[in-house]
Structure 1
Amino acid sequence: MKLQDIATFVVGNPPPGFGGRYFVFVKLTTACGISGVGEAYGVPFEPHLVARLIEDVFARYGAGTDPHDIEALWRRAYSSGFTQHPDLTMSGVLSALEMACWDIVGKAAGQPVHKLLGGRVHETLRTYTYIYPRPGDRTDVYHDPDLAAERAAEYLSLGFTALKFDPAGPYSAFDGRQLSLEALDLSERFARQLREAVGSRADLLFGTHGQMTAAGAIRLARRLEPYDPLWLEEPVPPDAPEEMAKVARATSIPIATGERLATKYDFARLLDCGAAAILQVNLGRVGGLLEAKKIAGMAEARHVQIAPHLYCGPVVGAANIQLAACSPNFLILEGIEDWGGFHAQILKKPIHFEQGNVIPSDEPGLGVELDEDVARANPYTGTMLHLEMTQHPVR
């Protein structure tokens, strides 16, 4: 079995655009006609250029090779150009290719990927969602704790037992910083009113995106502790795990992080520092399924849990599900509401969501098939990146 052909798809995510402005998918096909799909997350360049990067790496290291030889593909790409260092661009590109190889390997074996990575240990996967806006909202649910509390009740009716929110204000290219008193007050109000709304029926996941210094995050955490969040997410920028460890030691709230980290080497530093209790690997950035399984194993040895991150498309979502299903230390899975909308439309068969849980597929490979007609009918024509930070300091 040899890899022969590649196709890439840069797909615009239509309104409301939950999951980002666009998705970058790849399809690999072997000489014997088996195809597999993958997805790159958050590569910080124009997405059509990202598609070309994927094609270039495939031509150099993938074409003509056996898709089973994932370790060899990984090491060659990781070392490309005399690098051998975690690189978010290469890691995102490699994640998409590696994911597609696993999809092919599973289909060739007639088994879902989780069966090839140790076998299923979780029959259902608990999921959470952000508290998202809706058409006709009277205010911005991201900044209105009253509306957020009302919306939380709607999510609970769908079976969710965990909800995420991020009221701490914009994230900037100049962070970390001290949050303003106004932002601290609003964050505390959100936590208090959501806890009053959901009681003990749901966990609260307090999301931040590296806005704070360690000292600033500790100030925020002390305000949040009375409301017992399941986690405080990425309280400081991801480039200094030693600083994040200061926050972890100063609060009773578990620290979750990892969406902006890549490879076992980044996560080893995090674990060595004792910086997090929950690792949010994103399968479209971390280096792929096998790399994420290694990270999950490293975490398991330290009694740290995993909560796969998803703010992208459903192919990464499907890979997250495969990892979660076979990882003993799985905690919870991020989803985009109930996995409906465009995330369902672009798949031939949607991911199975049931009362706040995902039911892992028993279909061979990743368990999803990209609807290429839908992908081609929704090209991305914008100029902005998947996510962008505020370009000036926030006071």
Structure 2
Amino acid sequence: MKLANLETFVVGNPPPRHGGRYFIFVRITTACGITGVGEIYNATFGPDICCAMARDMFARHFDGADPHHIEALFRKSYGAGFTQRPDVSVMGVFSGLEMACWDIVGKAAEKPVYELLGGRVNDRLRSYSYIYPASGDVYPDPDTPNAYNDPAIAAEVALGMVEQGFTALKFDPAGPFSIYDGRQPGLDDIALSEVFCREIRAAVGTRADLLFGTHGQFTVSGAKRMARAIEPFDPLWFEEPIPPENPADMAQVAAYTSIPVAAGERLCTKHEFARMLEVSAASILQINLGRVGGLLEAKKIASMAETRSAQIAPHLYCGPIVAAANIQIATCTPNFLILESIGTFDGPYMSAVKGGITWENGYIIPPTTPGLGLELDDAAIATMPYEGTKLHLEMAQTPITP
């Protein structure tokens, strides 16, 4: 079996755009006609450039290769051009191509991918989602009270989610994030975060865990101040409290607070996660299968984490093909904690794919179909071009001041 053809697709994510502005999908076809799908989570460059990078990588390393030879394909891509170091753009592109190879291998073996990576461990996968505004809008008017800026509204939405079946809820009221972070949190941001935790905890009681999200906004001392304020409400995690560059600094935050630190959505390869584990910077690793280096690399990271009593919580702020890959790795991982979902995996978010993700009463049920379990819907994709110029996710471009 040999890889023979690559197709790339840039898909505009329809409103309310949960998961980002666009998705980058790939499809690889073998000489014998088996197809595999993947997704690139690469937000550093525009999507058309990422597609060009994928075509270049495929031509250099994948074309004519056996899709079973994942380790060799990783080494060729990782070491191309005398690099051999974690590179988020290279690994984003590789991740999409690699998961397409696993999709092919699973279909050829007539097995879900998780059965080829150690086999099913978890019969159902606990999931969480953001507390989105009731309107569903990802970018609501900031001057209008909504679940992002009003703790009472957030608590009401949270209670509805719990009644729907969710047992964990994520929210991030700690203020905007910029290319100039970390910084000290403003007193208003600390106060608002504390009230959010108090109101949501009062609404849901012990029926749901609180997942306190940030985006690397703070300095070490600033993160400690924020942790101290929210600690009484016993969140399940404090997410990426400082920028991800220096694990030793993040370890200071982790050692200071009883709240588990979760991090990793911006990291790639086992090497960057090893540095986190070596200094105990985080005990919950948020691997994203569209960026981390693919399924095999994620399995290696999960195994490293197991040796340090750390858990994985696959991260998702991209499209449904990455969601499908996250589900595969979670199903075969004994130290799996929880899986990020985009709502309950229905509605516009799933409009570019055929097949579905089964969400039942707060849990995702692993698929039994061969491969990853989803296919691209070419007819739908043709009606969903991305016509914007902004990147998938962007930070404020000026410093944030109190």
Name the TM-score class by shorter chain: over 0.9
Alignment-derived partner of residue 327 in structure 2 = 321
Alignment-derived partner of residue 282 in structure 2 = 276
Alignment-derived partner of residue 366 in structure 1 = 372
Alignment-derived partner of residue 148 in structure 1 = 154
Alignment-derived partner of residue 203 in structure 2 = 197
In 2, the alpha carbon distance for the partners of 1:8 and 1:342 equals 21
In 2, the alpha carbon distance for the partners of 1:127 and 1:52 equals 34
Q: Alignment partner of 1:353: what SS?
A: strand
Point out where structure 2 has 5 or more consecutive residues left out of the alignment.
Answer: none
> What letter matches 1:70 in structure 2?
I
Q: Alignment partner of 2:118: what SS?
A: coil
1:350 Cα offset (Å): 1.4
Q: Alignment partner of 1:127: what SS?
A: strand
Alignment-derived partner of residue 82 in structure 1 = 82
Q: Choose from 159, 164, 170 the match for 2:165.
A: 159
Alignment-derived partner of residue 73 in structure 2 = 73
1:345 Cα offset (Å): 1.9
Alignment-derived partner of residue 25 in structure 1 = 25
In 2, the alpha carbon distance for the partners of 1:157 and 1:229 equals 19
Pair 1:126-2:126 in alignment? yes
1:61 Cα offset (Å): 0.3
Where does 1:234-245 land on structure 2 (aligned, <5 Å)? Answer: 234-245=240-251
In 2, the alpha carbon distance for the partners of 1:355 and 1:374 equals 29
Is 1:281–1:307's contact at 8 Å kept on the other side of the alignment?
Answer: yes
Q: Choose from 332, 342, 362 the match for 2:338.
A: 332
Q: Give the structure-2-normalised TM-score.
A: 0.97
> What letter matches 1:310 in structure 2?
L
Q: Choose from 248, 256, 268 the match for 1:250.
A: 256
Alignment-derived partner of residue 271 in structure 2 = 265
> What letter matches 1:260 in structure 2?
R
Alignment-derived partner of residue 392 in structure 2 = 386
Q: Alignment partner of 1:377: what SS?
A: coil
> What letter matches 1:46 in structure 2?
G
Is 1:9–1:376's contact at 8 Å kept on the other side of the alignment?
Answer: no
Q: Alignment partner of 1:25: what SS?
A: strand
> What letter matches 2:20 in structure 1?
G
Q: Alignment partner of 1:128: what SS?
A: strand
Q: Alignment partner of 2:353: what SS?
A: coil
Encode CA deviations 1:103-160: one digit per residue, 9 max, x unaligned.
0000000000000000001000000000011329962211110100000011012100
Is 2:17–2:349's contact at 8 Å kept on the other side of the alignment?
Answer: no
> What letter matches 1:16 in structure 2?
P
> What letter matches 1:80 in structure 2?
A
Is 2:11–2:23's contact at 8 Å kept on the other side of the alignment?
Answer: yes
In 2, the alpha carbon distance for the partners of 1:313 and 1:320 equals 11
Is 1:173–1:390's contact at 8 Å kept on the other side of the alignment?
Answer: yes
Is 1:43–1:88's contact at 8 Å kept on the other side of the alignment?
Answer: no
Alignment-derived partner of residue 347 in structure 2 = 341
Encode CA deviations 1:29-61: one digit per residue, 9 max, x unaligned.
000000000001133101011111111100000
Aligned residues: 395
> What letter matches 2:346 in structure 1?
G
In 1, the alpha carbon distance for the partners of 2:353 and 2:27 equals 13
Alignment-derived partner of residue 357 in structure 2 = 351
Q: Alignment partner of 2:382: what SS?
A: helix
> What letter matches 1:181 in structure 2?
L
Q: Choose from 231, 238, 247 the match for 2:237.
A: 231
Point out where structure 1 has 5 or more consecutive residues left out of the alignment.
Answer: none
Q: Alignment partner of 1:9: what SS?
A: strand
Is 1:42–1:387's contact at 8 Å kept on the other side of the alignment?
Answer: no
In 1, the alpha carbon distance for the partners of 2:255 and 2:159 equals 33
In 2, the alpha carbon distance for the partners of 1:375 and 1:253 equals 42
1:196 Cα offset (Å): 0.4
Q: Alignment partner of 1:205: what SS?
A: strand
Q: Give the structure-1-normalised TM-score.
A: 0.99
Alignment-derived partner of residue 62 in structure 2 = 62
Where does 1:184-223 land on structure 2 (aligned, <5 Å)? Answer: 184-223=190-229
